[in-house]
Amino acid sequence: FQGLCDFSNSAAVADSSDICIAVSFDHEECGSQSCTGAEGATLPSWIDYLLGSLEVPTMARPGIMSRSFLLSADCAHGVHPNYAAKHQSEHRPDFHKGIVIKTNANQRYATTSLTSSLFREVCKKANVPVQDFVVRNDSPCGTTIGPIVSAKTGIRTIDIGAPQWAMHSCRETCSTNDCGHLLTLCSGFYETFREIDNSLESM
């Protein structure tokens, strides 16, 4: 939310032709199936209302959704010093080393090669470091609202997060540096996404 506020107060907003949204859902930890959860109709209804108020023809709306982009921003499993063996050697997000791209071949995360590439370009422009995370093959993978919203709307989506220890416990821990990285990223995303997306489409 702060990233959107920062963007709305910047000079870049005058050149933007996008509808920029920040949304938070309830009930993510118990399935998201509620009127205020990601599985509900609230977000699609709001988007439809916004496009209707701008007199966007119904037939044009799927094209707008396909050109949109969703950052599903949660936390990511950082390497805990007491449980380092839970991570693969190639996917060990550390504190202070940047935002984590979360990928799962079974679509427990919504990240794709396309959304990952675009996101890396946004991070490069914002000078935000990036890390990668894939759950070990012999461990179950949790999910996020990313696949839910992407499936309901057709919006390109990436699952990202700041690395964290002891997720869902009473001792969740993250680093102040990565909180700063996430804020810088969100502000930079609103400012640079469209330019980067257009440049990739022209390639």
The three-state (H, E, C) secondary structure of 175-196, written as one string = CHHHHHHHHHHHHHHHHHHHHH
Whether 1 shows a pLDDT value over 70: the answer reads no
Whether 203 shows a pLDDT value over 70: the answer reads no
pLDDT digits (tens, 9 = 90+) for 115-126: 999 999 999 999
pLDDT digits (tens, 9 = 90+) for 52-104: 999 999 999 999 999 999 999 988 989 988 888 888 888 889 999 999 999 99
pTM for this model (two decimals): 0.90
Contact 8, 22 (CB under 8 A): no
C-alpha 102/C-alpha 5 separation (Å) is 26
pLDDT digits (tens, 9 = 90+) for 124-168: 999 999 999 998 877 777 788 899 999 999 999 999 999 999 887
Burial 50-70 (b: 16+ CB within 10 A, else e): ebeeeeeeeeeeeebeeebbb
